[in-house]
Amino acid sequence: MMSLLRRGLFALLAFSLITLGTNVRPIEAQSQENSRYAAVVVDAATGEVLFSRHADSSRFPASLTKMMTLYLTFEALSQGKAHLDDVLTVSPRAASQPPSKLGLPAGQTITLDDAMRATAVRSANDMALAIGEHIGGSEANFTAMMTRKAHQLGMTHTRYYTANGLPDARQVTTARDQATLARAIMRDFPQYYSYFGLHDWAYNGRSYRNTNGLLPTGRGYDGMKTGYTNASGYNLAASAVRDGRRLITVVLGGRSSASRNAHVAELMDTGFEVERRRAQGENIQIAQTFFEQRGFGLGGESQSVGAPIAYASLNASDDEETGAESSTAVAYTAAPAPAALPTRITPAPSERAASQRAAATAQTAGQVAASQSAGAPATTASSRAPHNVTASLNGAPRGATAAPSTTPRRTTPQTARETARSPAGRWAVQVGAFRDEKVANDWLGEVSRRFRAQFASAQRDVQTAGDWYRSRFTGLTEDGAKAACDALAERRVTCMVIRPG
């Protein structure tokens, strides 16, 4: 009898353990997967956070790191410390970086402009490091500069130890910090923002496609950056413009590039729906609630019907961004190195034409910038001006300038006819901000000459804000201001629409 009881107890204990094991293991696995996820949706103009989930939790940035690498490069260009035609020599350390990479051998040279394109389009680890060494003297010095700049921008949870985002357990960020960086790039260096929106890039007979699969979808996406390591999952910072409004969405920890892109698209669509409803008069005070009513951010990680969100697994494979090479420790985004390494750096014809246009513009315009903070560094004109740059691209609040005017407003001389003419409206278009008042006036006249039809009824006005002189066309209607800015953007002239304040 005792033997029977013992056998029964053993059987019951074994059954309990099996049942407990099957119940607990999936929960642990789900927790491990979800730990990589974070997301935030931000109105680029106002900075309002429309949606957030783990937005301040520490995550690995992977190749989103290159956004800061390029931010410091833009800053060096604007300050005259670097030039697009600078020739970089690839160091042995840069050449030894794993894919994604351009694959130039040590000692090979490349222009800074091409290195920037390789970094933005193909997420080239070797070129990001080469840029860091060129700007900072060494990677250690450059990453210290990156961290200092991050903290200056308000990215208080971000630390950099590599210039390209390759794995380092100390290199961390948050979704909110990456959205802050995205806004800073648009605000401080709008003339260089278009590097992040290049759909493809031709170099030495090869064509490279951007790793950001949302760019060619035709839904207003115009740039930013992808990233992936096994530790980080599939990351994406994306920006899009619809109906004159710009949103920034950052998703960290996707399971695949496809599911990550789908999730970013859903968050973007929901964010633009909030903006559209508000514009139609609907009172949506807390956008987060609107997102949660659609299934984002509730319970587990955010998901919506029809496209559940998947999270990074340790064995995930990159079906979009990686080349043939990988390692057991980490997978990298990009294409394999070319079969025959280039021996001569020759810009494509389109690049030579763009450089010539930039030189011609620089002679008449000097510095072209749209910085909205009084202490921002001066920026120089570039043929890489972004497309459809509006107030939201520059980070200015709707209906107000980004920095309050601290000195009396100055108006450029007007003819008697212009002075007497009543303004058609109270909207304005800003075409630049400069440290030099004469440059601001000259650029205003140049834009007026080139776009007479758009600004025939407008008044030319140079306004001061701190040390900056803002070149603006005032007295426009809403439709006129938006149409004028669209016309300028089509010709790659930086502009922003200013609502009545």
> Three-class SS of residue 222?
strand
Q: How many residues does the chain have?
A: 501
How many angstroms separate the CA atoms of 270 and 416, rounded?
Answer: 50
Tokens of 256: 């695949």
123 is catalytic: yes
**Token pair 């609040």: residue:** 397
Longest distance between any two alpha carbons in the chain, whole Å: 116
- 333 neighbors 97 (Cβ within 8 angstroms): no
From the list 51, 31, 32, 26, the residue with the least C-alpha distance to 297 is 51
How many angstroms separate the CA atoms of 172 and 269, rounded?
Answer: 28
The enclosing H or E element of 141 equals helix 139-152
The enclosing H or E element of 67 equals helix 65-78
78 is catalytic: no
Which of 66, 101, 149, 225 is the catalytic position? 66
Per-residue H/E/C for 367-419: CCCCCCCCCCCCCCCCCCCCCCCCCCCCCCCCCCCCCCCCCCCECCCCCHHHH
- 261 neighbors 236 (Cβ within 8 angstroms): yes
> Which alpha helices (H) appear in 225-348, and where do they start and end?
257-279, 287-293
63 is catalytic: yes
Q: Which residue spans within 59-179 are E strands per DSSP?
A: 87-89, 109-111
- 275 neighbors 243 (Cβ within 8 angstroms): yes
Which of 52, 78, 100, 123 is the catalytic position? 123
Tell me, rounded to whole angstroms, the distance of Cα 157 from its chain centroid: 18
How many angstroms separate the CA atoms of 197 and 188, rounded?
Answer: 17
- 177 neighbors 157 (Cβ within 8 angstroms): yes
What residues are annotated to the active site?
63, 66, 123
